[in-house]
Amino acid sequence: MLALFVGFGLVVGVLFGFFGMGGSFLVTPALLMLDYPAPVAVGSGMAFVFGTAVIATLKHHDLGQVDYKLGVIMITGTTIGIEAGRASVYYLESMGLAGGVISVAYVVLLGGVGAMVTRDALKGDGGGVDHEAADKDLDEYEIPEIAKKIQRTVRIPPMVTLRGDVRVSAWVITAVAFATGVLSGFLGVGGGFIRMPAMIYAIGVPVPVAVGTDLFEIVFSGGLGSYLYGQGGGVNLGIVAPLLFGSALGARVGSAATAVVNSDDIKVYFGGMLLVGSIAVGIGEVGSYLGNSTLELLGLVLVIGAAVVVAFAVLYTTVTSLRVTRQQQTSAAD
């Protein structure tokens, strides 16, 4: 079981490091399918996100991509949201509905985000983090039209100025933070896959600042969420420690891979993985409902298998790209 957690952490770390999102997306449903109680699956998933976010924020801080003012305002909204989400998990647990409701929410969310990423990737637009865009200067970023409209329409004071000369109402930031906080507390996810696009399209901050600030914010929301779940006995160090051991290495490899691989090549696999994940959770839940252990096992194999396949696709493409580059350098030198 220890080796399984380290290996799974490694796989999730590669995906998190490469795509900048999806850290806990696979962990909580996998733990639910391994028959851990819902508060332990969600609490340990959140503690895992907390640890991974600490490591990723340290990297982004060095690159100057963290807006601490934005982060502090978002923490306020997220703190209330995460508590509301967490309280609803315990409420559902007391009614014996938590596992089912969380699984259904996962199916909808994984399927929705998976379909969106796959559609964008097939259009050539790409989902998740644009690695090339992350290398631009902050003042080169154009604010999305929808963000400009929100900035013009919602001018409730206090107004705040963020990095990249973005001026926005603190209430917009708080609303985005609260909504994603509820999601984070309820599902035990970092919420980055929703919060990051929300920061870009609703608040209008540049992409790298959205990524760095999101991670900084997850350190606090994940830390608080883990603490609250920990008080209820929901954090299992025997799960979190080996997952983190694997994910810290995987995240390093995944981050390094972004420098050599065109992420558009693989985003379609990532979207497909989320779609397979949603189907897997659905199959597992049907199996659990029917008392069919074969279906439950099939669900678990599918969710882990999809993550493993995409992680290997990332590694394979990275090694292939490096070999091509090396051969070109050798030919040029000859």
Partner 1 sequence: MAGLEIPTWDPETALLIGVILFEAFVLYAGYGGLERLVGPYLMDLVVGGDSSAR
Q: Rule CB under 8 A: is residue 2 a binding residue for partner 1? A: no
Given CA atoms 239, 240, 244, 250 in this order, what sign does their dihedral have? positive
Q: What is the dihedral angle through the alpha carbons of 142, 147, 126, 49, rounded to the nearest 10 degrees?
A: 110
Structure tokens at 197: 């696009």
Number of residues counted as binding partner 1 (CB under 8 A): 37
According to the binding rule CB under 8 A, does residue 83 interact with partner 1? yes
Single-letter code of the amino acid located at 311: A
Q: Among residues 181, 180, 190, which one has the least CA distance to residue 55?
A: 190
Instruction: Say if residues 201 and 146 touch (Cβ distance below 8 Å).
Output: yes
Q: Name residues contacting partner 1, limited to 213-252 (CB under 8 A).
A: 223-224, 226-228, 230-231, 235, 237, 240-241, 244-245, 248-249, 252
Per-position DSSP letters for 261-289, written without gaps between them: S-THHHHHHHHHHHHHHHHHHHHHHHHHH
Q: Does 37 bind partner 1 (CB under 8 A)?
A: no
* Smallest gap from residue 163 Cβ to partner 1 (A): 24
Which of 58/133 has CB closer to partner 1? 58
Residues in region 294-323 near partner 1 by CB under 8 A = 319, 322-323
Please identify, using beta-carbon distances, which residue of 87 and 146 lies nearer to partner 1.
87
129 is an interface residue for partner 1 by CB under 8 A: no
8 Å CB contact between 269 and 36 = no
Residue of 2, 64, 68, 91 interacting with partner 1 (CB under 8 A): 91
Phi, psi of 226 (to 5 degrees): -65, -40
Contact residue for partner 1 among 25, 50, 216, 220 (CB under 8 A): 50
Residues that bind partner 1 (CB under 8 A): 47, 50-52, 54-55, 58, 80, 83-84, 87-88, 90-91, 94, 223-224, 226-228, 230-231, 235, 237, 240-241, 244-245, 248-249, 252, 319, 322-323, 326, 330, 333
